[in-house]
Amino acid sequence: MDLCSSGVEIRGTDDNKLHISYDSKNGDDTKVKIKLNISGNVGRLAMDDCPRNNFQITIKVPSITNLYVRMWAGELNIKGVTGDKDMELHAGELDVNIGKPEDYGHVDASVTTGEVDAAPFDISKGGLFRSFKKHGPGKYRLHAHVGAGQVDLN
C-alpha cells in the first residue's frame, strides 16, 4: 500500500474483502484517486490527490493478511491483522497492535529521531537513531520504521 499523508486506520475483519472509506474533516470534497491492482493473491493499493488537512482513511482487510505499507507522513494505526507487517513512514506516528509476540520470528523497529516503544518485547527507547531487533519462534516478520516520530508496538 502506498498511502496519502493522512490519518490511516487499517483493521482486520472476518470478511474476505478489501473495504476503503475516507473522510475529509475540513469539508473538502476532493476526489481521491485510488488504484488497486490484483495479481493472484497479491494486491497493490495506491492513493493520490488526497486533501492535505484533517483527512482520515479506514482500510478494512481480511484479518489474516500480509501488509506492506509506505506513507510519507501522518498517523498509521493497525489493529486486528495477523501476518507479516512491513511498515514505513517518513514522519509521524505508527501504532501497531501486534497480537501475540510469540507469533513473530523476526522483529525490527527503528526511528531516526523519536521514540520506539514495544511493551510486548520489553523495549522503550528515545532519541536519535533508536532501534531494536528480536528473534522468536513464530512464522511472521515485522518491520517498522519512522524517520521522525514514534513507533508504538502494543
Mean pLDDT of all residues in 74-88: 96
Task: Please provide the average confidence, as pLDDT, over all residues in the chain.
Answer: 91
pLDDT of the residue at 32: 78
pLDDT at residue 135 is higher than 90: yes
- Higher pLDDT among residues 17 and 106, named by residue: 106
pLDDT at residue 55 is higher than 90: no
pTM: 0.90
pLDDT at residue 79 is higher than 90: yes
**Burial class for 57, CB neighbours closer than 10 Å (0-12, 13-18, 19+):** buried
pLDDT at residue 29 is higher than 70: no
Mean pLDDT of all residues in 103-119: 96
- For residues 151 and 108, what is the distance between their CA atoms, to the nearest angstrom? 11
At 121 the three-state DSSP class reads helix
Buried b (16+ CB within 10 A) or exposed e, 122-138: ebebeeeebebebebeb
Report residue 96's pLDDT band, with 50, 70 and 90 as the boundaries: very high
pLDDT at residue 48 is higher than 90: no
pLDDT of the residue at 99: 92
Lowest mean pLDDT among 23-27, 51-55, 64-68, 147-151: 23-27
